[in-house]
Amino acid sequence: MCGDEPMPGKVTCPQCLEKDRALTKKRLEAGLCGRCGDEALPGKATCGICRAKDNARTKRRSATNTSAYKKNLAAGVCVRCGDARMPGKTMCEQCLAKNSAWQKQYRATNPEYRKKQIAAGRKWFLGAYWPDDRLNAVDRYEAMLVERGGACWICKQPETERDGRLGVTRRLAVDADHTQNPPKVRGLLCRKHNQAIGLFRHDPALLLRALDYLAKPPILTMEPGCRVWPMADAARLAPIVTALIGGRPLLCLV
């Protein structure tokens, strides 16, 4: 830029480098592109032209990148040391153990990292229910939560089940009709009632039969003198279910 000797590994001298950084900072504070000074894209640090140039440069570098990681990955060996890797993994047993130990230590010393991981996973998970509006999936969930006061839409009670791994109370589950694509969201339920609906196969007719069973238990409508057999004996006595024992009808409760 000025003709002086550049810094080692750089294309500019220290003075020009500081001037360039100060100019970039000034442009960013004014909402302009940090590269050329034109109007920047909303929420970005560069304009459309500079962003396209950056993307093209990244693609060229990726195409010509001959790093050891990519070589080992293509060769089917451990990406770190080059030894034979474990089945279904990208590293060998020793490197995988070192990486797991490092991650465990990093999470212990950086509690905010775990919170960011949970938030990112939650955003991805909720986005599956609103694929056309993934960016606002979390906001839509929170709006539904506030609408019913944070309570299950069936029992009207807040979630009480604890997440043993994280040591926190679970959030209400998203109940959706998975027979449709994308799933059609019906509401927010506590874990127990969400699982209960799944066990009833999301079938309203089956739920109505269960309701009728609770309202009118079959045992209360049995004939006087009818013999009751446990379920364990029902299969053994199946061939003679319709038979009569001692002149009394046989009933197997299931």
Give 141-185 pLDDT, tens digit per residue.
Answer: 999 999 989 999 999 999 988 887 677 888 999 999 888 888 889
The burial of 145, by beta-carbon neighbours within 10 Å (0-12 exposed, 13-18 middle, 19 or more buried), is given as middle
Whether pLDDT at 245 is above 50? no
Q: Supply the CATH number for residue 182's domain.
A: 3.40.1800
* 188 and 138, same domain (yes or no): yes
Length of the chain: 254
What is the model's pLDDT at position 173?
Answer: 93
**End of a domain among 109, 139, 170?**
109
User: Is 117 a domain residue?
Assistant: no
- pLDDT bin (cut points 50, 70, 90) of residue 70 is confident
Read off the pLDDT band of 233 (50, 70, 90). Answer: low
Measured over all CA atoms, what is the biggest interatomic distance in the chain, rounded to whole angstroms? 114
Sign of the alpha-carbon torsion through 234, 236, 237, 239: positive
Q: What angle do CA 64, 68, 71 make, to 5 degrees?
A: 70
Is 87 found in the same domain as 50?
no
pLDDT band with cut points at 50, 70 and 90 for residue 74: confident
Q: Is residue 143 part of a domain?
A: yes
Question: Which residues, 6 or more positions from 249, have their beta carbon under 8 angstroms from its beta carbon?
Answer: 223, 226, 227
Do 74 and 58 share a structural domain? Answer: no
- CA-closest candidate to residue 43, choices 59, 31, 57, 56: 31
pLDDT band at 190 (very low <50, low <70, confident <90, very high): very high
Q: Is 59 a member of any domain?
A: yes
Do 140 and 188 fall into the same domain?
yes
3-class DSSP state for residue 134?
helix
> How large a percentage of the chain has pLDDT more than 90?
23
d(CA 208, CA 113): 47
Q: Give the pLDDT confidence score for residue 168 in this predicted structure.
A: 81
Burial 223-236 (b: 16+ CB within 10 A, else e): eeeeeeeeeeeeee
Same domain, 134 and 208: yes
Calpha distance 11→5 (Å, rounded)? 9
Cα separation, 60 vs 109, whole angstroms: 37
Single-letter amino acid, residue 164:
G
Query: 144 and 175 in one domain?
Result: yes
Per residue in 100-138, pLDDT (tens digit) is 999 888 888 888 887 888 888 888 889 888 888 888 888
Based on the fold, state whether residues 130 and 75 are members of the same structural domain.
Answer: no
Contacts of residue 144, defined as CB under 8 A and 6 or more positions apart, other chains included, come to: 187, 188
What confidence score (pLDDT) does residue 110 get? 85
Residue 5 lies in a domain: no
Q: Please tell me whether residue 117 adopts helix, strand or coil conformation.
A: helix
Task: Say if residue 164 is in the same domain as residue 185.
Answer: yes
Q: Per the domain annotation, does 1 fall within a domain?
A: no
Report pLDDT for 242. 44
Asked if residue 237 and residue 163 are part of one domain, the reply reads: no
Same domain, 128 and 102: no
Contact 157, 150 (CB under 8 A): no
Answer yes or no: is pLDDT of 26 > 80.
yes
pLDDT for position 41: 87
**pLDDT confidence of 221, banded at 50, 70, 90?**
low
Residue 144 and residue 161 in one domain: yes
Domain of 196, in residue numbers? 123-212
Could you tell me if residue 8 is inside a domain?
A: no
Once rounded to an integer, what is the mean pLDDT over residues 208-237? 65
The residue behind tokens 């059609």 is 184
Residue 196 pLDDT: 92
If asked whether residues 81 and 135 sit together in one domain, one would say: no
- State residue 191's pLDDT score: 92
Token look-up 């539904």 returns 144
77-93 residue pLDDT tens:
998 888 999 998 999 99
Q: Which of 45, 64, 83 is the last residue of a domain?
A: 64
Bond into 224 cis (ω within 30) = no
Q: Does residue 2 fall inside a structural domain?
A: no
Q: Is the pLDDT of residue 247 over 60?
A: no
pTM: 0.49
Would you say the C-alpha torsion 79, 83, 86, 87 has a positive or negative sign? positive
Say yes or no to pLDDT of 28 above 70: yes
Task: Give the number of domains in the chain.
Answer: 4
